[in-house]
Structure 1
C-alpha cells in the first residue's frame, strides 16, 4: 500500500476507534435527515451532554462533522466529502436507504409463518416482522446483520403472544431481568433461570444506561 493509501486507512481506523464517536456517527447517519443535536445524541446514548459535546468537537475539528446553527440549537451532520468513508467504515447504509432487502424479509416471514403455523396466520406474522424491523431501525444503528436481528425480535414477540393465547393456557409467567452499564448480569441471570426452569417460564433481558464499552 502506498503512503497516501496507508495514511487514509490509518485515518479511517482512528475515526471509529473511539466507541462513543462511532455510535454518534451511526446515529447521525441512520437518521432520515442525517443530522442530530447534541441533546438528542446524549439522550439516545445515555451520556451527559458535555461528554457528547467533547466528542462532537473532536469530530468537527477533524472535518468529519459539520455544524449548522438553528436558533438556539445546532445540528450536526457528517460532512458530505466524508459520508461515503464513514458509512463504509461503520458498515451501514446511508440515511434513507433500506437496511434490508425485501427478499430477505419475505424469507423471514416464510420461516416464522411455518414455525407458528396453527397459531398465527401469515398476515399476522408478516405484520410483526415488519413492525420489528421498523422498531429496530428507529432505536438502533443498522448493520449487515439487521435482518437477522429483526427476525429474532419478531420471533420473541410472536412467542410471547402465543404463550398468552387461550390455546396455550397462558399460564407461564414472564420474567424480565434488567441490568445497567453493559454489565451482562441480565444475560447471565436469564441463562441460569432458563437452565433451572426450562419452558415453565418465559425469560427476557434488557439493559439501560449503556456504557461506552462492554464491561470486562
Structure 2
C-alpha cells in the first residue's frame, strides 16, 4: 500500500525505470491495437431484417397494420374492464381516463398439436405464448426459410415478453421463448426480455450484439 504520492512515484521508478528510460510506451502493442480496430469495424457491418410477422390492436397482420397507419386510424378504444374481470364489477364507476385499451383479440385459431403441445396442456397456453409461437413460425417463413430447416443451427431467439401468471404462480419471461427454441431445435441463445415498454427494442439490441459477438449466426 502507498499512502503518499512520493511513495507511488518511488514504486513506479523502481518497477518501470527501464521502460521509462528507453521511452517505450506502456500499453497494448501495435498488433493488438489493429485487431481491436478491426473488431470494432466488423461490428459496424450492416445487419438486415429479412422476415417480419405481427399482430396488433385491430390489425391481424402487418398489411392491415400498415393500412391503419396510412389512414391514421386510432386503434385505442373505450373499453369496459368489467367484461374481462368479474372482480372489477363494482357499483363505483371507474375513471374515464383509464377506460381505454388497445387490445389484441384471440380471433385466430391456435393449433397446439402443430407445436407438439398436448390438448390437456393447451388450456394453460396464454394469448402471449400462442401469439409468440405463431408469429415466430410465420416470421421465419416470411424470411424465405422452412422453419424446420433451422433445426440444429446456431440460431438465437430473442423475445420481448412479460412474465406470465398461472394459478397464482409467476412463470419466467424466458419460458415461452425456450419452448419455441426447443420445438425448432435451435442451438443459439434463447432469451425472454422484460423491460416493460422497451422490451422489443432491447430484444433487438441483444440480438444484434449476439451476432456481433459470434454467439449466434442469426437471430429470430
> Where on the TM-score scale, by shorter chain, does this alignment land: which range?
under 0.3
- TM-score between the two structures when normalised by the length of structure 1: 0.22
- Specify which structure has the higher proportion of helix: 1
Higher Cα radius of gyration: 2
- TM-score between the two structures when normalised by the length of structure 2: 0.22
